[in-house]
Amino acid sequence: MEQEVINTMMPRIGDIAPDFKAVTTKGPIQFSNFAKDKWVVMFSHPADFTPVCTTEMSGFAERKSEFDALNAELLGLSIDSIHSHLAWVNNVKEKTGVYFDFPIIADIDMKVSKLYGMLQPNESETAAVRAVFFIDPSKKIRLIMYYPLNVGRNMNEILRVLEALQVADKYKVALPLNWVKGDKVIVPPPKTLDEMNARIADNSLEKVDFYLAKKSL
Ligand code: BEZ
């Protein structure tokens, strides 16, 4: 079957997040000036007034205080008008009491979706996929998730990786499989024979071998 190939470069981990201007439910933004000195969790959803998206957006709203605690701003996006966004936010508030108290980009011209590889035409030509970009305070993209239209994301995982990125930066460590806050962390493996011998002699670490050693923070 013929597949549509798009000729745009998708942002990658380590890239500086492409700058853009956008209209949001909290007013216009220039991304390079948005959330100065904070992390940004920027996420797209396929469409307003759809069921999976409503559960996901409600999940972001209900756990916003945990993003605040991690110095992270939320920034939603879909290829819908600002009027649709406002009506949806109001509808969900009226029906469930959950208020989407973070900016949602009205990307009706698809500019931002295309810039961030959120429009994946073999999944949908008109709706953004479920993307999540984790962007650090220097505006570098640190982690990217893409989910299809029919599978909702996992809020525990979104918060877990945000915290993992911050812990990795702060303590210069790496995080093992299924790491959650409080678990031991991986100390960087030695790079020289001297470091290797020091690691072998170090009894303060939980070691499988010199290259796989963990410690508590
Ligand atoms: C949903 O959010 O339920 C949805 C949106 C677009 C396509 C399929 C499902």
CA–centroid distance, 176 to ligand 1, in Å, is 33
Ligand 1 centroid – CA 189 distance (Å): 44
Distance (Å, rounded) from C-alpha 151 to C-alpha 130?
8
pLDDT band at 9 (very low <50, low <70, confident <90, very high): confident
Closest listed residue to residue 82, CA positions, set 14, 167, 39, 25: 25
Q: Does domain 2-153 have CATH number 3.40.30.10?
A: yes
Known catalytic membership, residue 53? yes
Q: Which of 119, 126, 149, 151 to mutate to test the pocket of ligand 1 (most atoms within 8 A of CB)?
A: 149
pTM value surpassing 0.85: yes
Q: Is 52 in the pocket of ligand 1 (CB under 6 A)?
A: yes
Structure confidence at residue 1 (pLDDT): 58
**58 close to 47: Cβ distance less than 8 angstroms:** no
Residues 6 or more apart whose CB falls under 8 angstroms from that of 185 comprise 167, 171, 173, 174, 175, 176, 179, 214, 215, 216, 217
pLDDT of 5: 60
The SS3 assignment for 55 reads: helix
Q: H-helix or E-strand containing 23?
A: strand 21-24
Separation of alpha carbons 153 and 53, rounded Å: 10
Above 70 in pLDDT, residue 89? Answer: yes
Q: Per the residue annotation, which of 17, 53, 127, 175 is the catalytic one?
A: 53
**97 Rama class: left (phi>0) / alpha (psi -120 to 50) / beta:** left
CA distances from 166 to 16, 107, 158 (A): 17, 29, 13
**How much of the chain exceeds pLDDT 90, in percent?**
95
- Which residue's alpha carbon is nearest to atom 1 within ligand 1? 52
Average pLDDT, the chain: 96
Q: Any residues with CB less than 8 A from the CB of 8 and at least 6 apart, and which?
A: 114, 115, 117
Is the pLDDT at 20 greater than 80? The verdict is yes
Mutate to test the pocket of ligand 1, among 118, 150, 151 (most ligand atoms within 8 A of CB): 150
Are 2-153 and 172-217 in the same CATH fold? no
Assess whether the C-beta atom of 46 lies below 6 angstroms from ligand 1.
yes
Check if the beta carbon of residue 143 is closer than 8 Å to that of residue 161: yes
List, for residues 36-56, the tens digit of each pLDDT value: 999 999 999 999 999 999 999
Please give the average per-residue pLDDT across 66-92, as a whole number. Answer: 98
pLDDT mean over 85-113: 98
For 174-180, the CB contacts below 8 A with 24+ separation are 176/214
- For the domain covering 172-217, report its CATH number: 3.30.1020.10
What does the pLDDT read at residue 111?
A: 97
Q: How many C-beta neighbours within 10 Å does residue 131 have?
A: 23
Model pLDDT, residue 2: 61
- Quote the ligand 1 centre to 164 CA distance (angstroms): 29
Determine the pLDDT at residue 59. 98
pLDDT attached to residue 95? 98
Q: For the chain, which residues make up each domain, given as ranges?
A: 2-153, 172-217
